Chains A and B, each alone.
Chain A
Amino acid sequence: MLTVYHYLVLSGILFALGTYGVLTRRNAIVIFMCIELMLNSVNLTFISLSSFLNNLDGQIFVLFIMSVAAAEAAVGLALMIAFFRNKESVEVDEFNLLKW
């Protein structure tokens, strides 16, 4: 019997994978993709709970999360292009313009 706990455990595993990627990778675009992975695992949690509790509110929040992720993608990738133009790289070790 498929229960809500299966989905919660799966999204926990995906969230931990995303955390590991954000903390260990050096390429900013890959870090960005790992953040998308974390957002998606939270979406899975929302939808599974909303489906098992017969309540639609969680799915509405998933729509909002998706639109925020789209806005984040647009702004973040524009930032990376602007950064690449100055430094010829998108490695986070080189991101030290705000250091003093």
Chain B
Amino acid sequence: MELLFFYLVAMVAVLSGFSVVMCKNPVNSGISLVMTFFCLAVFYVMLYAPFMAAVQVLVYAGAIMVLILFVIMLLNLGPEMLKRFRHGVIGGAIVAAIVMVQVMMFVGRGTVAGVQGDITRQRVLEEGHMQLMGLKLFTEFMLPFQITGILLLIAIVGALVLAKKDV
């Protein structure tokens, strides 16, 4: 049953990812990308990471995609013109096929090994995912967390400077 559900959602994710790449109109690509993000959020719930699913929906499907769609509509882009040549479709297809074959080889040959941690699914269900994440984030990963804050501040300032009319 779980496997069947996985295949169903995976099919939707791959199809909508395919239409992100194939749609001529950028708005349709953006909406397909939102669909992919929701499918990934479903997978995060299946993997016992409900907080990550919430962040995926709020940050990606909510904030980033709204920003992208806003810019697409602000710039009033039409469908992509078919010009003299298609932009290296054969080369892109070959490179993507090589990437996929390599991934399949790695996944098929290797075994997932590693030290098993102590955050079992049972513990996630008992203590709550958000609490465990917060505990880790504010003790072990405190410095990277603060650096992330500085990075976001720099990004805000940079975006403001770039978008201003005359610098």
Contact = CB atoms under 8 A, between A and B. Distances in A.
A38 to B, nearest CB: 10
B26 A30 contact: yes
Interface in B113-156: 114-121, 132-133, 136-137, 141, 144, 148, 151-152, 154-156
A81 B163 CA distance: 7
Contacts, number: 226
Contact of A53 (B6, B71, B80, B117): B117
Nearest to B17: A17
A74 interface: yes
**Which range holds the interface residue count of chain A?**
35 or more
B8 interface: no
Contacts of A12: 99-100, 103-104, 107
Judged by DSSP, the binding face of A is helix
Interface of A: 1-2, 4-10, 12-27, 29-30, 32-34, 36-37, 40, 43-44, 47-57, 59-60, 62-64, 66-75, 77-82, 84, 90-91, 93
Interface of B: 2-3, 6, 10, 13-14, 17-18, 20-21, 26, 29-30, 33, 36-37, 40, 43-44, 46-49, 51-52, 55-56, 59-60, 63-64, 67-68, 71-72, 74-75, 77, 80, 86-89, 91-93, 95-97, 99-100, 103-104, 107, 112, 114-121, 132-133, 136-137, 141, 144, 148, 151-152, 154-156, 158-160, 162-163
